[in-house]
Amino acid sequence: MPSQTWFTKVESPVGPLTLVADGDDLVGVYFANATVASASPPGWTADERRLRPAAAQLAEYFAGKRKRFDLPLAPRGTPFQRRVWNALLDIPFGETASYGELARAIGKPSASRAVGAANGRNPLAIVIPCHRVIGADGSMTGYGGEIARKRALLDLEARVRGG
């Protein structure tokens, strides 16, 4: 029997977020500018209660009380994308890494462009911290959630880490 896809929308300091679960696993955290956030696909069922743990942990993150998420995650992607997303989880709270550093971390030192593409397809914004990846020169490079959100998330983490 196929699992059920659930969703809810929550407010955050970086704008509305759409949270998506497949069964008990969190499969998506999307900013308002994501296509999936504007219109939930057919077959999805709204259920704030089911996604309450994810919403609560995100609220704790934004309040500076959570540095790592403890949720069952099941991002959908290729094996390469999932390797990149797993490596993102190793970037410490309040720190950043370049695309090249991430490519080396997964054993593919010449794949920084592919790493960037996988990073851009991360379906679990904030929870899998793709916002912590920056250009080799320290620049704020592209971010699916928009650069202003990326800067806000990094600034939040810098404040919490420093305090």
Active site residues: 130
Report strand pairing: 17-22 vs 5-10. Answer: antiparallel
Per DSSP, 112 falls in state H
| 140 close to 151: Cβ distance less than 8 angstroms | yes
SS3 47: coil
Euclidean distance between CA atoms 121 and 41, whole angstroms: 18
Between the alpha carbon of residue 56 and those of residues 41, 52, 114, 139, the distances in Å are: 24, 6, 33, 31
Q: How far apart are CA 84 and CA 76, in angstroms?
A: 12
